[in-house]
Amino acid sequence: MLPLLDSLRLLSEPTRLRLLLLLDMAELTVAEIQEILTMKQSRISTQLGLLKNAGLVQARRSGKNSIYGLGPVSAPLRTLLREGGPEIPDAARDRLGLELVLRKRSDAARIYFDQLAGRFGRSYLPGRSWKALAETLLLLMPAQVIADLGAGEGTFSQLLAQRAERVIAVDSSEKMVEYGSEVARANGFANLEYRLGDLEEPPIEDASVDLVFLSQSLHHAARPDRALREAFRIARPGGRIVVLDLLKHDFEQARELYADLWLGFTEVELHGYLEEAGFQKILVRTVDRETEAPHFETLLGMGERAAR
């Protein structure tokens, strides 16, 4: 066992301290730690190696993975970790990330439905389709005022307008707004209005919409945190937000191919943005994975603005 003073010197590096705090609460794989800390795998592996060599961390094999846990640290060091942990600025977010990771691990029902969704439509059955299911779910939505931020040409906005009381579609491209407006007029969507504006400053009045949608648009925002604060601003008390975006990936070509500013977000990052914006009752989870390379995954985030 490493002497206490040597252990303290080793823990003067913040990342190593955060790692020990996490591993004191649960055993984790490198991938899970990477998701929680949102750091590169190489950095995490290096720091884990130092802690392992010092005897503060131990690893065991489980299939193809190495599972890391806290080693046989001294009682004074363990007490110091548990009592001093809350003083670390990132500790609260790390705990939230750990909760999300552990929930994913144990969510057997979710795994089952992921598999079920993968089979939906694979075998032909007359009348069964995703379109029919989507139309059914749309009809179950209450009539409400909806903001579609980063609407593009507005395909999603037009679907929502079939049921909504009113839809405000916002996009920063003048051509997209012109095109969407023409399509809305041609198809008789009198309750669908297109506005030219930015995700980070949408031209919508305070507390004026019931539901805010950002569908694959947040990764185009220069400041995603600001975009979600603006979404909170325009949501009424009791209003909700739905974010569909990409799970964090390493397909760098997306920056050039799709003008993406961000290569997606982790569940922890999106949860943090929503919480910092002011939303409550937050739910964040990964809901889909593409079968074709680069295997983009879809992240769903939901939240609610507290009623007065």
pLDDT in tens, 248-293: 999 999 999 999 999 999 998 999 999 999 999 999 998 888 889 9
CB 89 within 8 A of CB 51: no
What pLDDT score was predicted for residue 44?
A: 93
What pLDDT score was predicted for residue 288?
A: 87
Where is 207: in which H helix or E strand? none
CB 170 within 8 A of CB 204: yes
Q: What is the rounded CA–CA span in Å between residue 138 and residue 51?
A: 52
**pLDDT at residue 116 greater than cutoff 90:** no
- Pick 209 or 83 by higher pLDDT: 209
Which of 21-35, 84-98, 126-140 comes out lowest in average pLDDT?
Answer: 126-140
Q: What is the rounded CA–CA span in Å between residue 111 and residue 91?
A: 29
**pLDDT at residue 89 greater than cutoff 90:** no
Q: What is the rounded CA–CA span in Å between residue 305 and residue 212?
A: 11
What pLDDT score was predicted for residue 289?
A: 87
What pLDDT score was predicted for residue 297?
A: 93
**pLDDT at residue 5 greater than cutoff 70:** no
* Other Cβ atoms closer than 10 A to 287: 14
What pLDDT score was predicted for residue 38?
A: 87
- Pick 215 or 154 by higher pLDDT: 215
What pLDDT score was predicted for residue 193?
A: 95
Residue 3 gets which letter from DSSP? -
Helix locations, 26-119, DSSP H: 30-37, 41-53, 75-84, 91-106, 108-119
Kindly provide the b/e burial profile for residues 25-63, where b requires at least 16 CB atoms within 10 angstroms of the residue's own CB. Answer: ebebbbebbbbbbeeeeeebeebbeebeebebbebeeee
What pLDDT score was predicted for residue 195?
A: 96
Which of 2-16, 87-101, 135-149, 291-305 comes out lowest in average pLDDT?
Answer: 2-16
Q: What is the rounded CA–CA span in Å between residue 254 and residue 296?
A: 11
What pLDDT score was predicted for residue 126?
A: 74
Mean pLDDT of 203-209: 97
Domains of the chain in sequence order: 4-91 (1.10.10.10), 109-304 (3.40.50.150)
The pairing of strands 166-171 and 57-62 is: unpaired
SS3 of residue 190 by DSSP: coil
Where is 168: in which H helix or E strand? strand 166-171
Which of 35-44, 212-221, 222-231 comes out lowest in average pLDDT?
Answer: 35-44
**pLDDT at residue 118 greater than cutoff 60:** no
CB 268 within 8 A of CB 100: yes
**pLDDT at residue 137 greater than cutoff 90:** no
pTM for the model stands at 0.73
**pLDDT at residue 300 greater than cutoff 90:** yes
Residue % of the chain over a pLDDT of 90 = 54
Burial class (CB in 10 A: 0-12, 13-18, 19+), 159: middle
Burial class (CB in 10 A: 0-12, 13-18, 19+), 243: buried
Mean pLDDT of 104-109: 65
Q: How confident is the model at residue 105 (pLDDT cuts 50, 70, 90)?
A: confident
